[in-house]
């Protein structure tokens, strides 16, 4: 048996008529950029979050740095985040001209550890940038409390957790802006790149809309800005898929529950943790080997048996050769948990269209490897 990592084509075939109808509507309208389909999707996406505004942009990285710019974050400012996530989180801070300050992640959730944040705050600190990693919400109540105490902004990187929620809070209600990515592998993905900023802040809405479109608020009038617009065909795909996001997340949770129930006694891996009362949407189902040197043998064993497992994110941001040190980034305290997560993580296949047979086969082979290690 082979088990793929992605289910894009299966998903397309399942809702093909809806996607095709939306794309056809855009093609027949003749309005492919900043047209009515984009406006429709932006309203639908804002309504889904229970928030006032959603602004479609070119990708998730742009969503972050345009939000930073709209909130006045730039040279001389510092933004606190954690390093065991995708490079773009810190990259966007850098693009805005600010400094990324890395603190450790929580050992259970792998999201930013609120207990580590205050030690990193300086007079230059402007914002906290929590990442809802793998589909699990960060502890936004604790983060908001710290932000209020120190008069800091909060920008949520929600590229991986659309539809997730915490215990008594929704994504977006405790921050100044939420930034997301619609690249195809996300739980709400288009056929290519895309992103959005969601906010209740009228000024952020106005500034991001202007910045994404060459600084323009009306035709032929421009100021400082860029070209970062979500095209209407991408909006058409996303509008069709948004209607199915909660059902898809429910299936992800079903697969995750099966993985967890059957792998809980494995001796050489650690399973994902879901905070009680939270809704984890399992954009990724990430296990960790007990030791870094076990990861490659497990990946090779799964691959040899037809299972396409991957790593997210196996080189932490501060370990990347391309990140600007000195003025561009610094670390506060130990980041041992973040480094452990990066060094040991493996993502098992996870998408709504996985079959029970594919899940059980992945479980069986993972347990087979675990027994082999135990006998070595």
Instruction: For 300-366, give the secondary structure using H, E and C.
Output: HHHHHCCECCECCCCCCHHHCCCCCCCCCEEECCCCHHHHHHHHHEEEECCCCCCCHHHHHHHHHHH
Question: For position 217, what pLDDT does the model report?
Answer: 83
- pLDDT of residue 248 exceeding 60: yes
Among residues 267, 328, 272, which one has the least CA distance to residue 294? 267
Task: Output the pTM of the full model.
Answer: 0.96
Question: For position 322, what pLDDT does the model report?
Answer: 75
Question: For position 280, what pLDDT does the model report?
Answer: 98
Give domain 245-375's CATH number out of 3.90.1150.10, 3.30.70.270, 3.40.50.970, 3.40.50.2300.
3.90.1150.10
- pLDDT of residue 325 exceeding 90: no
Give domain 8-242's CATH number out of 3.40.190.10, 3.40.640.10, 3.30.930.10, 3.90.78.10.
3.40.640.10
Report whether 328 contacts 100 (CB < 8 A).
yes
Question: For position 224, what pLDDT does the model report?
Answer: 84
Q: Are strands 285-289 and 99-102 parallel, antiparallel or unpaired?
A: unpaired
Triad 27, 31, 34: Cα angle to 5°: 130
Domain boundaries, the chain: 8-242, 245-375
Could you tell me the end-to-end alpha-carbon distance of the chain, in angstroms, rounded to an integer? 26
What tokens does 195 get?
């992103």
Q: What is the pLDDT of residues 254-290, one digit of tens each?
A: 999 999 999 999 999 999 999 999 999 999 999 999 9
Q: What is the pLDDT of residues 184-216, one digit of tens each?
A: 999 999 999 999 999 999 999 999 999 999 988
Q: What is the pLDDT of residues 342-372, one digit of tens each?
A: 999 999 999 999 999 999 999 999 999 999 9
- pLDDT of residue 376 exceeding 60: no
Q: What is the mean pLDDT of the chain?
A: 96
Question: For position 223, what pLDDT does the model report?
Answer: 86
Of residues 91 and 374, which shows the higher confidence score?
Answer: 91
Q: Is 33 exposed, middle or buried (0-12, 13-18, 19+ CB in 10 A)?
A: exposed
Mapped onto helix, strand or coil, the DSSP state of residue 282 is coil
Q: What is the distance between the alpha carbons of residues 93 and 177, in angstroms, rounded to a whole number? A: 14
Q: Are strands 345-348 and 285-289 parallel, antiparallel or unpaired?
A: antiparallel
- pLDDT of residue 160 exceeding 70: yes
Report whether 361 contacts 307 (CB < 8 A).
yes
Q: What is the distance between the alpha carbons of residues 171 and 260, in angstroms, rounded to a whole number? A: 25
């Amino acid at each position: 048996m082979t088990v793929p990592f992605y289910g894009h084509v299966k998903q397309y075939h399942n809702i093909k008529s809806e996607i095709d109808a939306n794309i056809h509507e855009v093609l027949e309208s003749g309005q492919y950029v900043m047209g009515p389909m984009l406006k429709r999707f932006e309203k639908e996406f804002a309504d889904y979050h229970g928030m006032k505004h959603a602004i479609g942009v070119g990708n998730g990285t742009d969503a972050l740095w345009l939000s930073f710019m709209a909130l006045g974050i730039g040279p001389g400012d510092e933004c606190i985040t954690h390093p065991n996530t995708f490079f773009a989180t810190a990259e966007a801070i850098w693009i805005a001209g600010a400094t990324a300050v890395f603190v450790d992640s929580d050992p259970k959730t792998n999201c930013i550890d609120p207990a580590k944040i205050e030690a990193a705050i300086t007079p230059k600190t402007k914002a906290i940038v929590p990442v809802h990693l793998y589909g699990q919400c960060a502890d936004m109540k604790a983060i908001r409390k710290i932000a209020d105490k120190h008069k800091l902004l909060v920008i949520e990187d929600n590229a991986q957790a659309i539809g997730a929620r915490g215990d008594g809070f929704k994504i977006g209600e405790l921050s100044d802006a939420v930034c997301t990515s619609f690249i195809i592998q996300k739980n709400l993905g288009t056929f290519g790149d895309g992103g959005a900023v969601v906010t209740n802040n009228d000024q952020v809405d106005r500034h991001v809309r202007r910045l994404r479109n060459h600084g323009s608020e009306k035709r032929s009038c421009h100021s400082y800005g860029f070209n970062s617009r979500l095209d209407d065909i991408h909006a058409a795909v996303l509008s069709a898929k948004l209607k199915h996001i909660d059902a898809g997340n429910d299936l992800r949770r079903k697969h995750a529950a099966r993985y967890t129930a059957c792998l809980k006694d494995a001796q050489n891996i650690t399973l994902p943790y879901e905070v009680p009362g939270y809704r984890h949407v399992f954009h990724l189902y990430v296990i960790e080997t007990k030791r870094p040197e076990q990861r490659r043998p497990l990946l090779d064993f799964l691959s040899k048996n037809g299972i396409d497992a991957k790593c997210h994110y196996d080189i932490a941001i501060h370990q990347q050769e391309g990140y600007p040190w000195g003025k561009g980034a610094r670390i506060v305290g130990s980041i041992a948990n973040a480094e452990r997560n990066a060094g040991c993580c493996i993502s098992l296949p996870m998408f709504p269209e996985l079959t029970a047979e594919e899940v059980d086969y992945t479980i069986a082979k993972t347990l087979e490897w675990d027994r082999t290690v135990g006998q070595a």
